[in-house]
Structure 1
Amino acid sequence: MTGLVARIVDSVAAIPAAAWDACLPGEAEDHSYYRACDEAAAASGTGLRCAAVAIADAQGIAAVAPFFRLDYRLDTPLQGRLRGVADAVYRYVPRLLTLRIICIGSPYADRCHLGFAPWLDGPRRETAMRAIVDALRRQAAAEGAQLVAFKDLAPADDALVAPCLSREGFARIGSLPVAILDLPYADEDGYLASLSAATRKDIRRKLARAQAVRIEHRSDITGLEELIAELYESTRRRSGLDYGELEVLPPGYFAAVSRALGERAVFALYWIGDELAAFNLLLIEPGRVIDKFLGMRYPLAREHNLYAVSWMANVRFCLSRGIVSLQSGQTAYASKLRFGSRLVPTRLHVLHRSKLLQWGLRRIASTVSFDRFDPDLARLPAAR
């Protein structure tokens, strides 16, 4: 580890923004995004705040990553009836199903933002990775955390760091894939032509019945913050999925992100008369839009086919700006696949401080992956 110094800080804000963004260039979920998430969590006293780890060398900050602490329920991947059984066990013996975990990544991102300075070559990058792992191991021991984990590594990042993490003893587990819609089309008709005839007909029928919907795009949501938060929370509760604290946003999240990102955060608002019936939060990058969160008011949204309306509005938004990729997250896979998306796998890497328990974890890793228990993916084995 010669020449590298690891530092754990209480907030992403403690790392200079320029250094952070140099390690993770071009990301909408940048230093200002994570700072906004932290500020919302701190102001409300709820939510999982993101601390950070930074590795420095003689040239400056060489590697960065957010991390958070979580009392993690081992039954979190389970859904439906299996989750009901686990809930019954948890009520009587919560400690049996709960582990304290330090997790690289963020509950507010679908990707593990693990970044390296551009001057690091392959061997130095691996040395920096080992420095991160060592720092987290020490932090876990100091806090009494049993697990260290890397959450939702994208394929390129996973290929980069998986060999190092394997040598360090981590178990590799499947996480939920991310839906991506590629948009190499000149216009909306080109996109629709790429879909099946039945899907194309269904979308056109739903759009024709949605004439009462008024769509507005804005970055400033002053006066609408509570309405937007209410729509998100209502939709989250209706989803039928429960990933615990990993999907709960702190109060004030939407307002904080709006202020921090400015025009890089666009809220697509769907009005029926004077009533806000749905919203999308879109994060904008030069070649990609992240459809970050969706909230709908029921039954109004269903009556006006707002899922299909919002999907097509986002497609038009991208096409009008020459954006070729629409990322729509880790839920509702059946609809997203029908509308032309592909699924990009993500990976977890987990290390238990007990060598014996880590030995067991490595042997059951393939059976406890998140993608095995998602209801949509279970019905779509080819997608899995």
Structure 2
Amino acid sequence: MLKQEAEHKNYINQLEPEGILSAFIAHPPEGFRSQITETGLPLFTTQFDLLTTAEPALRQRLAALPGYRRWRKWLTLNTCFIGATTSEYVCLPYSQQPEAVLRWIEAHCINKQPLTIIKDLPLRSPLLSPSDNDYNLRLIAAARRRGFVCVEGQALAWVPIDFASVDEFLARMSHSRRRNIRRKLRSRDGLNIEVLKTGDVRFQDSVFRAQLYQQYLAVWHQSELHFDRLSANFFDHVLTDADSDGRLFCYWHQGELAGFNLCYLYQRRLIDKYIGFDYALAPKFNLYFVSWFVNLEYALSEGLQSYVAGWTDPEVKASLGASFTFTCHLVRMRNPLLQRIFRYFSHYFESDTQWYRQRVL
């Protein structure tokens, strides 16, 4: 039996090994305070800028208002997030029904923090069981009755492994797109691809781990969103964890590391978690595109059911054949006036959903 077939889920909505969540709790990002509550609920608190995920149009409208520079700081609030930034979905304890979860949140979060967000709650996810999806719908309904605003979240990209080869997968695309991808994949010939299991002896080398972390930071710094910068200690934890069934795909060119991709095998899926690039080399080898197809090939070779490709760059991932499933965030402000204002502006925080609707229509 494959290891991932034998693994047991400890949380509702769990898509990755629990070791990743444990690493987040033990080594939270800078400015975060994280914990697992006595009820089994993971959460963290931090200062959160409300405009972090707002559409550019809203940011521009606010910036044009009188006194913006003076009152801009008021949009950063001490916030309690239910969930973790290292899990695709919010992990919820099996022992607590939705009403009990919300009562605990009201008593310990909403009454103590200006802002509370239940983050990344799946909406009828094809990656989850019917019972998990039913639980989420009941939680959303109960939260709305209690005054939470439901804000549609990001697009999680995934690919069902329902093809026998990469050629068959490419054949589903248009001729022009297929030709463009094949052209970019030719750069793979200049790379040596190495796959290391987490916990491998190579990760005892602190210099190698530091190199990987610097490449992660290079990607983080060029990202449009800067929220949770994971620490070097977090990466040390996950790279040396032999029990989480991780795979580090290393892309070498003439002895130089051009980039890496850290994925996990779990519940017959390949879960793509973190990437790092040397931007002096990675673009020359179209590493983003190459790594996508290397991951698909690996999922095929392991007999997996799907490849879960993460939240960022939905337009690029759509061009590479990804499907999408969505989440929502349940938002509650302690101040009733601010809650009403946020409800009015909440559609400005749903850019991925609006992008997807325009794409489909």
Q: What TM-score comes out, normalization by structure 2 length? A: 0.83
Q: Secondary structure at the match of 2:41?
A: strand
The answer to whether the 8 A contact 2:31-2:47 is kept is no
Q: Counterparts of 2:13 and 2:70 in 1: how far apart (Å)?
A: 47
Aligned positions of 1:33-44 closer than 5 A: 33-41=20-28
Q: Counterparts of 1:232 and 1:87 in 2: how far apart (Å)?
A: 32
Question: Does 2:161 align with 1:180?
Answer: no
Q: For residue 26 of structure 1, report the CA deviation from its aligned partner.
A: 6.6
Q: For residue 91 of structure 1, report the CA deviation from its aligned partner.
A: 5.7
Aligned positions of 1:63-82 closer than 5 A: 64-78=40-54
The answer to whether the 8 A contact 2:11-2:91 is kept is no
Determine the structure 1 residue equivalent to 2:169.
191
Q: Secondary structure at the match of 2:42?
A: strand
Q: For residue 188 of structure 1, report the CA deviation from its aligned partner.
A: 2.0
Determine the structure 1 residue equivalent to 2:209.
225
Q: Secondary structure at the match of 1:344?
A: strand
- Select which of 205, 209, 221 maps to 1:237: 221
Determine the structure 1 residue equivalent to 2:283.
302
Any unmatched runs of 5+ in structure 2? Answer: 1-7, 124-132
Distance 1:255 1:79, change over 3 A: farther
Equivalent pairs counted in the alignment come to 336
Q: Counterpart amino acid of 2:155?
A: P
Superposed CA deviations along residues 76-134 of structure 1, whole A, max 9, x for unmatched, are 113668658878977644532111211111122221112314xxxxxxx6xx3222222
Q: For residue 158 of structure 1, report the CA deviation from its aligned partner.
A: 3.4
Distance 1:85 1:214, change over 3 A: farther
Determine the structure 1 residue equivalent to 2:16.
28
Q: Counterparts of 1:213 and 1:84 in 2: how far apart (Å)?
A: 43
Q: For residue 282 of structure 1, report the CA deviation from its aligned partner.
A: 0.2
Q: Counterpart amino acid of 2:359?
A: A
The answer to whether the 8 A contact 2:117-2:331 is kept is yes
The answer to whether the 8 A contact 2:33-2:46 is kept is no
Distance 1:25 1:177, change over 3 A: closer
The answer to whether the 8 A contact 1:105-1:112 is kept is yes
Q: Counterparts of 2:145 and 2:308 in 1: how far apart (Å)?
A: 32
The answer to whether the 8 A contact 2:98-2:138 is kept is no
Determine the structure 2 residue equivalent to 1:5.
none
Question: Does 2:22 align with 1:53?
Answer: no
Distance 1:350 1:142, change over 3 A: closer
Q: Counterparts of 1:134 and 1:263 in 2: how far apart (Å)?
A: 33
Q: Secondary structure at the match of 2:257?
A: strand
Q: Counterparts of 1:104 and 1:168 in 2: how far apart (Å)?
A: 16
Q: Secondary structure at the match of 1:176?
A: strand
The answer to whether the 8 A contact 2:157-2:309 is kept is yes
Q: Counterparts of 1:383 and 1:207 in 2: how far apart (Å)?
A: 28
Q: Counterpart amino acid of 2:342?
A: L
Q: Counterparts of 1:48 and 1:96 in 2: how far apart (Å)?
A: 19
- Select which of 169, 193, 208 maps to 1:215: 193
Q: Counterpart amino acid of 1:365?
A: S
Aligned positions of 1:247-262 closer than 5 A: 247-262=228-243
Q: Secondary structure at the match of 1:346?
A: strand
The answer to whether the 8 A contact 1:67-1:105 is kept is yes
Q: Counterparts of 1:371 and 1:203 in 2: how far apart (Å)?
A: 24
The answer to whether the 8 A contact 1:175-1:348 is kept is yes
Question: Does 2:327 align with 1:346?
Answer: yes
Q: For residue 262 of structure 1, report the CA deviation from its aligned partner.
A: 3.6
Q: Counterparts of 1:193 and 1:135 in 2: how far apart (Å)?
A: 51
Q: What TM-score comes out, normalization by structure 1 length? A: 0.79
Q: Counterpart amino acid of 2:75?
A: L
Determine the structure 2 residue equivalent to 1:104.
82
Q: For residue 343 of structure 1, report the CA deviation from its aligned partner.
A: 1.4
- The percent of aligned pairs where both chains have the same amino acid is 25
Determine the structure 2 residue equivalent to 1:147.
115
Q: Counterpart amino acid of 2:42?
A: P
The answer to whether the 8 A contact 1:67-1:104 is kept is yes
Structure with more relative contact order (C-alpha pairs < 8 Å, separation 6 or more): 2
Q: Structure 1 stretch 354-363 or stretch 89-98: which is displaced more?
A: 89-98
Q: Counterparts of 1:160 and 1:301 in 2: how far apart (Å)?
A: 45
The answer to whether the 8 A contact 1:149-1:351 is kept is yes
Question: Does 2:287 align with 1:312?
Answer: no
Q: For residue 258 of structure 1, report the CA deviation from its aligned partner.
A: 2.2
Determine the structure 1 residue equivalent to 2:358.
381
Q: Counterparts of 2:13 and 2:310 in 1: how far apart (Å)?
A: 21
- Select which of 113, 125, 129 maps to 2:98: 129
Q: Counterparts of 1:178 and 1:227 in 2: how far apart (Å)?
A: 28
Q: Counterparts of 2:21 and 2:68 in 1: how far apart (Å)?
A: 32
Q: Counterpart amino acid of 1:152?
A: D
Q: Structure 1 stretch 265-274 or stretch 94-103: which is displaced more?
A: 94-103
The answer to whether the 8 A contact 1:290-1:327 is kept is yes
Q: Root-mean-square deviation (CA), in Å?
A: 2.8
Distance 1:272 1:80, change over 3 A: farther
Distance 1:132 1:214, change over 3 A: same
